[in-house]
Structure 1
Amino acid sequence: MEKIRAIFIGDVRFDQCPVFELNTETNYFEMLIDKEMRYEKECVEEDDDFLIIKVKNDIATLVEE
């Protein structure tokens, strides 16, 4: 099963970096540890400060657009 995840580049400055996963039912990227923190899919895709990564079979691939 393929997952689409994202991280905000600015968060890598801190000791922990939240990871967001695309919920295809709601079309929102939701933070894995706090589902109430979320961003619309289009906002993440259009923001150059987010890295979008496909994860399949434990292999992560950066999505280049």
Structure 2
Amino acid sequence: MKKIRAIYIGDVRFDQCPVFELNTETNYFEMLIDKEMRYEKEVVEEDDDFLIFKVENDVATLIEE
């Protein structure tokens, strides 16, 4: 199963880096550990400080646009 996930570059400075996953039903990237923390898909895609990955079969591939 293919997943689309994102991380915010600035978060790598901290001990933990939250991961967001695209919910295709709501069109929001939701934080995996706290679903209430979320961003609209377009906001993440347009922000250069987010890195977006396709994750399939435990392999993450950076999506470059």
TM-score range, shorter chain: over 0.9
Give 3-state SS (helix, strand or coil) of 1:16's partner: coil
| 5+ residue gaps, structure 2 | none
Aligned to 1:17: 17
Identical aligned pairs, as a percentage? 89
- Scaled by the length of structure 1, the TM-score of the pair is 1.00
Q: State the Cα deviation string for residues 1-59 of structure 1 (Å, max 9, x = none).
A: 10000000000000000000000000000000000000000000000000000000001
- Scaled by the length of structure 2, the TM-score of the pair is 1.00
Give 3-state SS (helix, strand or coil) of 1:52's partner: strand
Aligned to 1:60: 60
Aligned residues: CA RMSD: 0.2
User: 4+ residue runs of structure 1 moved beyond 3 angstroms?
Assistant: none
AA matched with 1:61: T
The whole-number CA distance in structure 2 between the counterparts of 1:38 and 1:23 is 10
| 5+ residue gaps, structure 1 | none
